Amino acid sequence: MKIRTMKLREAHKRDDEGESSVCSILWASNGDYIVTASSSDNSICIHTVGSPSNMPKFLRNHREGVTALALSPNSTCLASGSLDHSVKLYKFPGGDFETNITRFTLPIRAVAFNKSGTILAAAGDDEGIKLVNTIDGTIARVLKGHKGSVTSLAFDPKSEYLASLDSDGTVIYWELQSGSTVHVLKAIAPNNGIGFSVLNVLAWSPDGEMLAVPGLKNDVVMYDRDTAEKLFSLRGDHTQPICFLSWSPNGKYMATSGLDRQILIWDVDKKQDIDRQKFTECISCMAWKPHGNALAVIDFMGKYGVWESAVPLTMKSPTEDIPGLHSKNSNGFLLFDEEEEPSASGNLSDLNEDSHGEFEPPSRKRLRKRSNYDDDWEEDCNDELESIPKVGSRKKASYGHKDNLSGKSGSRHMIVTAGSKMQEAFQPGATPAQPGKRHFLCYNMLGSITTMEHDGYSHIEIDFHDTSSGPRVPAMTDYFGFTMASLNESGSVFANPCKGEKNMSTLMYRPFSSWANNSEWSMRLEGEEVRAIALGSAWVAAVTSLNFLRIFTEGGLQRYVLSLDGPVVTAAGYKDELAVVTHSSPSLPTDEQMLEFRVFNIAYGTQPLRGRLPLTPGSCLTWLGFSEEGHLSSFDSKGVLRVFTSQYGGSWLPLFSASKLKKPDENYWVAGLSASKLFCIVCKSPESFPQSTPKPVLTLLDLSFPLACSDLGADSLENEFMMNNMHLSLVQRSIEERAASGHDTTSLDDEAFNLETSLDRCILRLIASCCNGDKLVRATELVKLLSLEKSVRGAIKLVTALKLPSLAERFSSILEEKLLSETSGNTVLPDRKSNCNGSIQHDVASVKLFTAPEISQKSEGVVPSPTHTLPSTSLSSKQNGEEPCKDRHGNNIQCQTTTLGKATDLKTAVKLKADEVHSLGETKAMKVDQLHFSRPSNPFAKSASNQESSSLFDSLKKMKK
């Protein structure tokens, strides 16, 4: 076999004495970054793979050399250990320093994250391995049993064991659930004594079935995960002990480096080396590229490089057929990410911190062979299925223990199909807890609720954006450990995860004012955890781990308990309405979530809406709420905002898409929305949520449909056209609902008229763009959508000025057809009460509502609302002269009427209509506020008479007069 060599470039300078150092290298999960460190350099370097010529990013937070690195599974958190005895956390890839997660009394030699990222194991020259909760920085447990310095740590991919190796060559299997030792393998690896230029390492295979350990014969020995029996060894051309080993992502290959200054690539199944590289120095650390055929290496002198095509191209790729794990906890909360997932190791916090009894056989020790692995795996699956009725979202199915290590709401275990991932529950407006920092329990359009843990309890503060209108709420000391909250004008509600021996969750409501003393109340749920809460008009809602929806009154009366169809994802409230999102089924193999929404009217005890919640493929739900006008809205992780409307029998309209802004370095954390604006906090990537201090600044973004690029180049006009259509449809729906309930519609009539005129102006501008772009058919379609006769005449004048006589003639024909249709009594006129016959003609002239015959058909499946029509009155039967008419204030005005015979020429009628427009311009459309507008039905906006009523749109924001 030909031995190749490759050149390396310097990443870290060695010390003055030129001695070799322990160096580390990692590859980010997306393959875009490489991280390096050296025990002779106090800096950590983050290299951009695609731009090797660019200067790396340096993190200089340690006082002495960095001896260990680890990345969380989703590559959002970087951990480092150092000779200065500290373990630090950073945001990745930004590199912002987060916290000193823990300290030792002696140097650190190894750090490792568990599969979910909730636990960080750290060890070194001190006695004991610390398991640190990355959520709050607490020490979950200290594992004691090693005699020498611990040089390597590895979590079992199935989240059951932790393996550790010390400088004496001893390997210990630790059971995470109990903290006890499962197996102790003494002196199976080389003894490094007191020298730390070379560290013993070990690694689990990606499928979790084997543990690889450097052997005593310059080889690698494989041990069974459960029995710790020796399975086989890889022995080849290494002439000196192996100092590092690394599994390929699919577990088919292994890379080993030895003190003989060469790297060997092994085919594990065939137990033979397939390629090798020779170096001038010993290779200290290696890392496979997560996506591709490459191996990153760094030597003892701090020089690093990438071995491209480490596996021969004629062989199977090292990233092909990556094994899927049937672990009992397949997901987990990842630090600095916005999704919280179940802990892989269960709750270690409520057990004793120190774990002694070093070599005692564990009670749960399974001594099974690889041959009967499949049978026992089926038994484990049965255990999981039997655990479904048991409450306790933090319970590991096969173990049944109570709490999750993270201690945060939202950490849930779900039984899902292999390879799929069901979204965990979350509270809108809440951010993950961070050690030593204040974070949001709630953030909405009204204000915010923040908390920070200190000395075993938390300090909660409530602030309103408008300090002049919101009540003054004193700060609160939280002894329950609340992790979620909801806020409205009347009060606030809090909830915490299950705690204590009784596995109890607490729900507490605090009103801002009350006529009675002691109006605050709390409820305790034993064996049941609150996962989402919401507030409305005189009601409080909580959705729990038993899929119960619990409704309480403002005074604490337990009013309703409903069973939901699936696990809750989130909930939101607005006045009388409560929206709840649940899983309708397990997620698809493509990880697409299958969610369902339900809207309850608490006051009337009804469910006006229910349906599937749309999401962008590959995304998850990140926010749910109501707009200021009461419209149900959602926002997903791909940056798409959707608003529910009754159009087309009930549909979701995409009104914002972050991809259209073309700012990939920005993430948008939604706080709320109005009729035309999205209120959000802009977070710089990779941040996905804001910090509470300094106080974040709200950014207002315009709502707009994600339209295709038009051949007219008038995207803004087309968006304005669609937005106005949507708003007009909502106003018309509200007019119908108010009129049906007997309420005054004057203000909404004015708003509808303003929208009509604004929409006509927009259509006229679009017609001009069509004419300039020679899109005459489109211009003809647009003129049919004009509402006012005056607007149609304006369109005729426009195309005449543009010297398009044929189009002007067609527009004139359209106008004549509509006027002829009206004079024949075929047009449904707006409902209008009048004291004279002539007033009807003035209405037609002032606010002419055309309905194009070819697009006026009612959609199937949509029940039309009743349409008020005037009695059929022939124009020829009207009397000549003036008749007294009264406006809406009761004042007498003069109305000019014209007598038309049956054989009246159409052109004369058109002229008379124009005269009426002029006369009515002086009276400013009397009684316009009483009109019931009926917009043409078209592909962009249905007629108000063709829409289903919905309680979601009974409140529309009034426009300024």
Mind listing the pLDDT tens digit for each residue in 455-480?
A: 777 899 999 988 777 677 888 888 88
pLDDT tens digits, residue range 482-537? 999 999 999 999 999 887 777 889 999 999 988 888 789 999 998 899 999 999 99
**Lowest-confidence region among 232-236, 412-416, 440-444:** 412-416
CATH 3.50.50.60 fits 21-306, yes or no: no
* Closest listed residue to residue 14, CA positions, set 281, 307, 306, 305: 281
Tokens 């480096």, located at residue = 257
CB 788 within 8 A of CB 847: yes
Burial of 191 (0-12, 13-18, 19+ CB in 10 A): middle
Residue 377 has pLDDT above 80, yes or no: no
- Give the distance, in angstroms, between the CA of residue 683 and the centroid of all CA atoms in the same chain: 13
Q: Is pLDDT at 733 greater than 70 in this prediction?
A: yes
Residues 6+ apart with CB under 8 A from 209: 224, 225, 370, 373
pLDDT above 70 coverage of the chain, percent: 73
- What per-residue confidence (pLDDT) applies to 279? 92
Distance separating alpha carbons of residues 865 and 209, to the nearest angstrom:
66
Give tens-digit pLDDT for 795-839: 999 999 999 999 999 999 998 888 887 777 544 434 333 333 333
Q: Cis peptide leading into 249, omega within 30 of 0?
A: no
Question: Could you give the count of Cα atoms lying within 13 Å of 847 in the half-sphere of its Cβ?
Answer: 29
CATH entry, 438-668+678-702, from 3.30.565.10, 3.40.50.720, 3.20.19.10, 2.40.128.630: 2.40.128.630
Encoded amino acid at 88, one letter: K
Give the torsion sign (CA, 775, 780, 786, 791).
positive
Looking at residue 1, its pLDDT comes to 52
Rounded Cα distance between 766 and 757, Å, is 14
Rg (CA), the chain: 35
Mean pLDDT value across residues 11-34 = 83
Residue among 59, 65, 55, 56 nearest 20 (CA)? 65
Residue 427 tokens read as 């509270």
pLDDT score of 84:
94
Which stretches of 455-593 are assigned E, i.e. beta strand?
Answer: 457-464, 476-478, 484-487, 491-495, 504-511, 521-526, 530-536, 539-544, 548-553, 558-563, 568-574, 577-585
CA atoms within 13 A of residue 637's CA, in its CB half-sphere? 15
528: CB partners within 8 A, 6+ apart = 391, 498, 505, 544, 545, 546, 548
CB 786 within 8 A of CB 763: yes
Q: What mean pLDDT value characterizes the chain?
A: 78
Cα(45)–Cα(361) distance, integer angstroms: 43
Nearest of 176, 131, 126, 122 to residue 146 by alpha carbon: 126
pLDDT value at 614 more than 70: yes
pTM: 0.49
User: Tell me: the pLDDT tens digits for 380-406?
Assistant: 434 433 443 333 333 333 333 333 433
Contacts (Cβ under 8 Å, ≥6 apart) of 82: 42, 62, 63, 64, 65, 66, 67, 68, 88, 107, 108
Residues 213, 205 contacting (CB under 8 angstroms): no
CA quadruple 622, 626, 627, 628: dihedral sign: negative
Question: Is a pLDDT exceeding 90 seen at residue 840?
Answer: no
What's the start-to-end Cα distance of the chain, in Å?
86
Could you tell me the residue ranges of all domains in the chain? Answer: 21-306, 438-668+678-702, 714-821
Residues 303-329 have a mean pLDDT of 81
688: which 2 tokens? 């996905």
**Biggest alpha carbon distance in the chain?**
118
